[in-house]
């Protein structure tokens, strides 16, 4: 069966303007040739440090921004160049949960209206059917029925994120992009919301593109992980393989910071030197060579390509070629 989402060689360059006339003086290479697919009912986590381009990938997938090049297919239909009118019915099928539930929910709308808006916009239900749908949504995200008549500011951060999830579920999507959806929440609330997302994904058969800077968060939720560095994917693997035998030195560094619940297991911490280089002038060769503890001459000259090491694991590193 065809994947629900197929992203091929996606690039997004933002112009850098300068001078009195605001002329383009360079480009920010936010996303630079990213390819992946996502099946129905699958969770793929896109992880990497802040500024690596992962949220830009999410926005391009949702057509909130236009990619510079590459293709995005949803259920076989190419959506990156599709005219807006034609895209509208497909928008129902892909929804988003943002990081900050407070700013993403209108403070002047009651929860009833926040949830009803996408249902009405797509003509999915009205009258008694709409009321039943609203009640079902609240039940799905474990909020009380009286939440419908309250405003977002009357809820805690975790509850507001549940409202954000209910709004994403309202038009019965196939795909939800969760863009740092739990990053702003307290640790205990974070775990509850991650569990809720995992449960909804499973019961509703949703595909989730879960964008996070935190590998620890995705471990209990995801089927596969794609690790991103400076606009490129450096490793893609199923969860079990990635957490047990990471191949790319960057993945190993990220993973070394993830706490292990078993005190008998010690993970050697890899501290990366320096900051992520500028995406305006990415380093030649392997983009990670300026921070990689294993870099050698070839890494500074030749860019490694993402290649399959096993059927379930790919990495972009000269040590694997």
Question: Which residue ranges make up the site for ligand SF4 (CB under 6 A)?
Answer: 248-249, 286, 288-289, 292, 294-295, 299, 304, 317-319
Nearest distance, CB of residue 65 and ligand SF4, angstroms: 29
DSSP 239-264: HHHHHHS--SHHHHHHHHTSPPS-TT
Nearest distance, CB of residue 44 and ligand SF4, angstroms: 22
Rank residues 59 and 291 by Cβ distance to ligand SF4 and give the closer one.
291
What b/e sequence results for 283-309 when a residue is b if at least 16 CB atoms lie within 10 Å of its CB, and e otherwise?
bebbbbbbbbeebeeebeeebbebeeb
DSSP3 helix / strand / coil % (the chain, rounded to 5): 35, 25, 40
Rank residues 233 and 317 by Cβ distance to ligand SF4 and give the closer one.
317
Nearest distance, CB of residue 225 and ligand SF4, angstroms: 17
Between CA 60 and CA 57 the distance in angstroms is 5
Cα dihedral value 110, 111, 117, 118, nearest 10 = 160
Nearest distance, CB of residue 290 and ligand SF4, angstroms: 8
Q: Across the strands, what pairs with 77?
A: 74
Rank residues 165 and 286 by Cβ distance to ligand SF4 and give the closer one.
286
Query: What are the structure tokens assigned to 82, written together?
Result: 């599709």
Nearest distance, CB of residue 89 and ligand SF4, angstroms: 43
Q: What are phi and psi of 159, to 5 degrees?
A: -70, -40
Between CA 99 and CA 217 the distance in angstroms is 14
Rank residues 20 and 273 by Cβ distance to ligand SF4 and give the closer one.
273
Nearest distance, CB of residue 233 and ligand SF4, angstroms: 13
Rank residues 66 and 305 by Cβ distance to ligand SF4 and give the closer one.
305
Tell me if 42 sits within 8 A of 207, measured CB to CB.
yes
Rank residues 262 and 268 by Cβ distance to ligand SF4 and give the closer one.
268
């Amino acid at each position: 069966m065809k994947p629900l989402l197929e992203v091929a060689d996606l690039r997004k360059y933002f112009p850098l303007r300068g001078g009195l006339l605001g002329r383009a003086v360079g480009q920010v290479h936010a996303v630079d040739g990213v390819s992946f697919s996502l099946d129905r009912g699958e969770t793929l986590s896109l992880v990497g440090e802040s500024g690596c381009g992962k949220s830009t990938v999410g926005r391009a997938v949702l057509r909130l921004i236009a990619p510079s090049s590459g293709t995005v297919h949803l259920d076989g239909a190419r959506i990156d160049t599709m005219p807006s009118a034609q895209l509208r019915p497909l928008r129902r099928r892909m929804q988003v949960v943002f990081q900050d539930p407070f700013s993403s929910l209108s403070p002047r709308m009651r929860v009833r209206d926040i949830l009803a808006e996408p249902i009405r916009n797509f003509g999915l239900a009205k009258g008694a059917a709409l009321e039943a749908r609203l009640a079902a949504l609240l039940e799905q995200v474990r909020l009380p029925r009286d939440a419908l008549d309250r405003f977002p500011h009357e809820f805690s951060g975790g509850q507001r994120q549940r409202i954000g999830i209910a709004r994403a579920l309202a038009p019965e999507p196939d795909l939800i992009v969760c863009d740092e959806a739990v990053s702003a929440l307290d640790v205990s609330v974070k775990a509850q919301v991650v569990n809720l997302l995992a449960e909804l994904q499973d019961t509703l058969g949703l595909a989730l593109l879960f964008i996070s800077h935190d590998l620890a968060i995705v471990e209990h939720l995801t089927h596969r992980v794609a690790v991103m560095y400076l606009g490129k994917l450096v490793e893609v693997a199923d969860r079990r393989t990635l957490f047990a035998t990471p191949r790319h030195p960057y993945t190993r560094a990220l993973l070394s910071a993830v706490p292990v619940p078993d005190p008998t297991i010690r993970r050697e911490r890899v501290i990366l030197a320096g900051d992520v280089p500028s995406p305006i002038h990415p380093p030649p060769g392997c983009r990670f060579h300026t921070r990689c503890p294993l870099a050698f001459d070839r890494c500074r000259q030749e860019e490694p390509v993402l290649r399959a090491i096993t059927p379930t694991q790919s990495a972009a590193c000269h040590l694997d070629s």
